[in-house]
């Protein structure tokens, strides 16, 4: 096959076509947080009563979680950005492999299923291929609570020993502050007997959001957002009405970087500034002025300067914004060093940025980025969710046309991103084939 033929075939795939070098203006609205909404949906497994959640984004991952919960017997109704979940008649404690395989967050169901039913059988999770992301911490935590846990042929089976009616509260110390492990253990302990503590817990806003929902459902959780979380187990939880998901800090950060990379003044809302403190500081450091008010953040870029970034657990710089920030640094003056410390395979976007003229040298999980005056449009592919967002940002600033493939990844985490960008002046269009 010739290079031209290969290129033609690539363009025939579903893609976004972006004509770059446009200035943007107006307001970009941020949807509810994907990573929070997914785990809040699984929390509905902990009660027979109805749990109603609002500000749910319209994403393929949300549709996948809906299908998984329905396969367990949960009644799920969605109207606009609101979702109603009733797990009164659970018919299964084993979500099907074909659904779990594409959605890592589905593994979170093991905690509430074990806590409420005393048994769960969950396939090992899938999702973006950005690293090992083992579930060892989840399993070790469940064992500490008294569960018998076995892993065999890709299935994790967790159960209570004979004669044991509830999990037993205990002290759990995480080797690393894993968000997923913290959330899994949190949901398992709320119905456990006695007091539990999670030491070295993740501090992410999504953990705090889950704790807030569970407390509204009757749980007794304190300390979420700190390194130690305390849980007093209760015998049952009740439902709740109209709990609103927090704004998506990763989408907000992506939009702020979209403004910076196109040298555009934009307002991004709603945003909780405390959820993005490290990102906001890096944007200031690289030459952006930020006006923060009760209604959101208005960003006005200046001359972009290179700054160094190392990804860290919250409140450090989030790994989910490493790829979009690299697109920004690709056109900043000077040399930046971007180090990925969370996921070992999260540098797959480097080669695609290089295709657009970026000057990046990769040394393991560290990228040395020499800023260039501008990028050039090219056919590129996003290898994972955040890499796809990085390609969109690069395309917005590039000279000429960029075709971004890999939309199945993008649609997992950004709710109708092309319509939002169109609304502020981007020249962007989706092609389904």
Q: Do 146 and 196 have their domain in common?
A: yes
| Structure tokens that stand for 288 in this block | 């952006």
pLDDT for 126 equals 52
Would you state the pLDDT for residue 130? 34
pLDDT, residue 105, reads 72
The pLDDT score that the predictor gives to residue 134 is 67
Using the predicted structure, report yes or no on whether residue 142 has a pLDDT greater than 70.
Answer: yes
Q: Is 80 exceeded by the pLDDT of residue 433? A: no
Q: Is 128 a catalytic residue?
A: yes
pLDDT at 229: 98
Would you say residue 377 lies in a domain? yes
134 and 207 co-located in one domain? yes
pLDDT at 95: 81
Residue 313's CATH number: 3.65.10.10
Range of the domain at 281: 3-31+247-431
Q: State mean pLDDT over 221-242.
A: 97
Residues 381 and 291 in one domain: yes
Using alpha carbons, select from 249, 297, 223, 242 the residue that is nearest to residue 54.
Answer: 242
Domain annotation covers residue 398: yes
Res 123: pLDDT: 83
pLDDT tens per residue, range 70-102? 999 999 999 999 999 999 998 887 887 777 776
Same domain, 280 and 173: no
Q: Lowest mean pLDDT: which of 149-163, 164-178, 403-417?
A: 149-163
- Confidence band, pLDDT 50/70/90 cuts, at residue 12: low
State yes or no: pLDDT of 290 exceeds 90: yes
More confident residue, 248 or 109: 248
* 45 pLDDT more than 50: yes
385-421 pLDDT tens trace: 899 999 999 999 999 999 999 899 999 889 999 999 9
Q: Are residues 270 and 232 in the same domain?
A: no
Task: Please report, rounded to a whole number, the percentage of residues in the chain having pLDDT higher than 90.
Answer: 78
**Under a CB-based contact definition with an 8 Å cutoff, are residues 78 and 430 in contact?**
no
Task: Please tell me whether residues 12 and 42 are part of one structural domain.
Answer: no
Which pLDDT score is estimated for 295? 84
Query: Is the confidence at residue 133, as pLDDT, over 70?
Result: no
Q: What is the largest CA-CA distance in the chain?
A: 69
Q: pLDDT band at 6, cuts 50/70/90?
A: very low
pLDDT, residue 1, reads 40
Instruction: Please state the domain count of the chain.
Output: 2
242 in any annotated domain: no
Instruction: Reply yes or no on whether the pLDDT at 128 is more than 50.
Output: no
> Which of 185, 201, 236 represents a domain boundary (last residue)?
236
Do 402 and 344 belong together in one domain? Answer: yes
| Residue where a domain terminates, one of 167, 201, 236 | 236
Least confident of 51-60, 103-112, 209-218, 360-369: 103-112
Residues 218 and 313 in one domain: no
Interaxial angle between packed helices 34-43 and 60-71, expressed in degrees from 0 to 180 and rounded to the nearest 10 = 10
Q: What mean pLDDT comes out for the span 367-389? A: 95
Residue 60 sits in the same domain as residue 23: no
96 found inside a domain: yes
In this structure, the answer to whether residues 227 and 301 fall within a common structural domain is no
- pLDDT for res 382: 92
pLDDT digits (tens, 9 = 90+) for 16-27: 999 999 999 999
Is residue 81 classed as helix, strand or coil in its secondary structure? coil
Examine the domain organization and report whether 262 and 168 are in the same domain. Answer: no
The last residue of one of the domains, among 236, 268, 294, is 236
pLDDT tens for 299-332 read 999 999 999 999 999 999 999 999 999 999 999 9
> Among residues 128, 240, 288, 405, which one is catalytic?
128
The reply to whether 241 falls in a domain is no
Residue 39 is predicted with a pLDDT of 95
The verdict on 216 and 275 lying in the same domain is: no
């Amino acid at each position: 096959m010739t290079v031209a033929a290969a290129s033609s075939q690539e363009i025939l795939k579903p893609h976004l076509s972006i004509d770059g070098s446009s200035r943007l203006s107006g307001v970009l609205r941020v949807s509810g947080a994907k990573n929070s909404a997914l785990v809040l949906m699984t929390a509905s497994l902990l009660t027979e009563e109805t749990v109603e959640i609002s500000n749910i984004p319209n994403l393929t991952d949300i549709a996948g979680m809906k299908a998984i919960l329905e396969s367990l017997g949960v009644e799920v109704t969605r109207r606009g950005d609101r979702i109603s979940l009733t797990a009164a008649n659970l018919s299964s404690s084993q979500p099907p492999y074909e659904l779990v395989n594409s959605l890592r967050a589905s593994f979170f169901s093991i905690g509430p299923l074990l806590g409420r039913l005393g048994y769960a059988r969950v396939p090992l999770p899938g999702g973006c291929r950005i690293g090992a992301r083992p579930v060892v911490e989840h399993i070790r935590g469940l064992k500490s609570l008294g569960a018998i846990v076995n892993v065999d042929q890709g299935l994790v089976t967790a159960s209570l020993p004979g004669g044991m009616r509830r999990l037993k509260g205990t002290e759990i110390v995480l080797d690393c502050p894993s968000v997923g492990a913290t959330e899994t253990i949190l949901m398992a302990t709320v119905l456990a007997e006695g007091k539990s503590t999670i030491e070295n817990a993740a501090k992410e806003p999504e953990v705090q959001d889950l704790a807030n929902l569970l407390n509204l459902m009757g749980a007794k959780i304190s300390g979420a957002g700190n390194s130690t979380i305390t849980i007093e187990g209760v015998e049952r939880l009740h439902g709740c009405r109209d709990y609103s998901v927090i704004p998506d800090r990763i989408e907000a950060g992506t939009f702020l970087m979209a403004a910076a990379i196109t040298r555009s003044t934009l307002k991004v809302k709603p945003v909780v500034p405390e959820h993005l403190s490290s990102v906001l500081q890096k944007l200031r450091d690289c030459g952006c002025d930020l006006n923060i008010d009760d209604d959101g953040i208005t960003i006005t870029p200046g001359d972009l300067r290179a700054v160094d970034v190392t990804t860290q657990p919250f409140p450090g710089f989030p790994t989910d914004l490493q790829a979009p920030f690299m697109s920004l640094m690709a056109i900043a003056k000077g040399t930046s060093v971007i180090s990925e410390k969370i996921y070992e395979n999260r540098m797959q976007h480097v080669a695609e940025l290089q295709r657009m003229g970026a000057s990046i040298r990769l040394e393991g999980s560290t990228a040395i980025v020499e800023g260039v005056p501008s990028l050039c449009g090219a056919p590129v592919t996003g290898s994972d969710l955040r890499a796809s967002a990085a390609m969109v940002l690069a395309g917005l600033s590039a000279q000429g046309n960029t075709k971004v493939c890999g939309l199945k990844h993008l649609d997992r985490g950004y709710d109708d991103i092309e319509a939002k960008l169109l609304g502020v002046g981007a020249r962007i269009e989706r092609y389904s084939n």
